[in-house]
């Protein structure tokens, strides 16, 4: 089999309501932007994937990855992963381009990718990942409603100027839902997001104080409490805390950084993202070493339904995972239905809080082609893109 053509479409989907990310103060998000990639082959199989990014991601892939993929056998993923990783220093990370290759392989084999990887599980427990700052009452009521929707685990954001105000929210939520619900906190302290007003930056002692408060409240993990390259600070913090786990890694790049995070003992939970931080093959290698160190690999996911499906298959295949990050924060515009709007079938949780892996070959993407076509603002086609757009969505 040979890759004959690559099409990319930049899609901008309006949100029904604004979303104000806790990590980007002053930022108001009104659209969901993604790039849909289709990789065509001489055997008629078309692989799909998506970048959580815009024109910059589309152009970086077109310049630095596409010319090296056309003409290649898509099944030689370990070889092609080298091309994709090498391009990482030239522009926005192009790791997402391994996704269509696995989609092609799954479709050619007639198997869901998770089963191709030997995954035994056909469903993964979701944790609802919220994104906005709310008052203690609003957040407590909101989490109680999420529990009614079926979630058994929920993650909050901490971004008040005074972390004591964040702890008040965490206390209200714990009081509202009791001990039966797993709760986590994402501090988003790994880097400074260029929000309009900046954000309160924690030092080591603040992170330690917050971690101890969250231990008192029986929270499961504290995510990104310190800068992403502060190997020493993270390891020291993990040492000083007892019950609570430390999580992070979503914006670390490359296996070399994850090796350092593992070797230095920075985290209990590594959160690589197959779109942002490493290729799928790289993450699977990492997961094997993490398992030997007693560290879980629970992929980060945000952005769009295609990324969700990819991480669902990955989570179902990894023995040391157990969770799927499930971005959803009503009544903001960032909800599961907005996140998955480009798919004909959004991912939902069952009554026990699990997301089921679709029993379709590849990653099981089925695009809502009319919607994607309507909201496509820029298309690039290289090689023979004679494959029908709709064909990319079929098995």
Contact footprint for Mg ion (CB under 5 A): 186
Cα distance between residue 41 and residue 63, in whole Å: 20
Cα distance between residue 56 and residue 39, in whole Å: 19
Shortest distance, CB of residue 23 to Mg ion, whole angstroms?
8
Nearer to Mg ion, 105 or 156 (CB): 156
Cα distance between residue 225 and residue 244, in whole Å: 12
Nearer to Mg ion, 11 or 184 (CB): 184
Nearer to Mg ion, 24 or 392 (CB): 24
Shortest distance, CB of residue 217 to Mg ion, whole angstroms?
19
Shortest distance, CB of residue 248 to Mg ion, whole angstroms?
8
Cα distance between residue 104 and residue 46, in whole Å: 6
Cα distance between residue 41 and residue 278, in whole Å: 24
Shortest distance, CB of residue 130 to Mg ion, whole angstroms?
11
Q: What is the 3-state secondary structure (H, E, C) of 69-81?
A: HCCCCCCCHHHHH
Q: 39 near 3, Cβ under 8 Å? A: yes
Q: What is the 3-state secondary structure (H, E, C) of 136-181?
A: HHHHHHHHHHHHHHCCCEEEEECCCCCHHHHHHHHHHHHHHHCCCC
Nearer to Mg ion, 37 or 302 (CB): 302
Q: 9 near 376, Cβ under 8 Å? A: yes
Shortest distance, CB of residue 325 to Mg ion, whole angstroms?
8
Cβ-based neighbour number of residue 284 at 10 Å: 16
Shortest distance, CB of residue 223 to Mg ion, whole angstroms?
5
Q: 241 near 265, Cβ under 8 Å? A: no
Nearer to Mg ion, 185 or 349 (CB): 185
Nearer to Mg ion, 121 or 188 (CB): 188
């Amino acid at each position: 089999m040979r890759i004959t053509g690559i099409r990319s479409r930049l899609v901008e989907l309006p949100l029904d309501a604004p979303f104000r990310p806790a990590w980007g103060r002053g930022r108001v998000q009104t659209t969901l932007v993604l790039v849909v990639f289709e990789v065509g082959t001489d055997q008629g199989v078309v692989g799909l994937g998506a970048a959580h990014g815009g024109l910059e991601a589309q152009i970086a892939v077109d310049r630095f990855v596409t010319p090296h993929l056309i003409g290649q056998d898509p099944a030689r993923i370990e070889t092609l992963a080298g091309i994709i990783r090498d391009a990482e220093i030239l522009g926005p990370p192009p790791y997402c381009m391994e996704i269509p290759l696995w989609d092609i392989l799954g479709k050619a084999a007639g198997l869901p990718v998770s089963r191709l990887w030997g995954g035994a599980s056909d469903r993964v427990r979701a944790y609802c990942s919220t994104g906005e700052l709310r008052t203690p009452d609003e957040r407590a009521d909101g989490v109680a409603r999420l529990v009614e929707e079926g979630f058994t685990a929920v993650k909050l954001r901490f971004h008040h100027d005074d972390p004591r105000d964040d702890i008040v929210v965490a206390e209200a939520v714990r009081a509202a839902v009791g001990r039966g619900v797993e709760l986590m906190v994402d501090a988003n302290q790994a880097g400074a997001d260029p929000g309009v007003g900046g954000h309160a930056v924690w030092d080591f002692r603040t992170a330690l104080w917050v971690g101890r408060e969250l231990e008192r409240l029986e929270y499961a993990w504290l995510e990104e409490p310190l800068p992403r390259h502060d190997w020493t600070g993270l390891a020291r913090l993990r040492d000083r805390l007892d019950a609570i786990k430390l999580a992070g890694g979503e914006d670390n790049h490359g296996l070399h950084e994850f090796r350092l995070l593992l070797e230095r003992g920075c985290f209990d939970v590594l959160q690589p993202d197959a779109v942002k931080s490493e290729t799928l093959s790289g993450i699977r290698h990492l997961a094997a070493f993490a398992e030997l160190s007693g560290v879980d690999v629970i992929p980060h996911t945000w952005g769009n339904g295609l990324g969700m499906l990819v991480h669902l298959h990955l989570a179902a295949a990894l023995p040391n995972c157990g969770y799927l990050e499930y971005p959803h924060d009503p009544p903001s515009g960032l909800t599961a239905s907005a996140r998955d709007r480009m798919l004909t079938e959004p991912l939902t949780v069952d009554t026990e809080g699990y997301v089921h892996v679709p029993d379709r070959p590849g990653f099981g993407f089925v695009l809502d082609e009319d919607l994607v076509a309507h909201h496509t603002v820029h298309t690039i086609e290289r090689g023979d893109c004679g494959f029908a757009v709709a064909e990319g969505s079929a098995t």
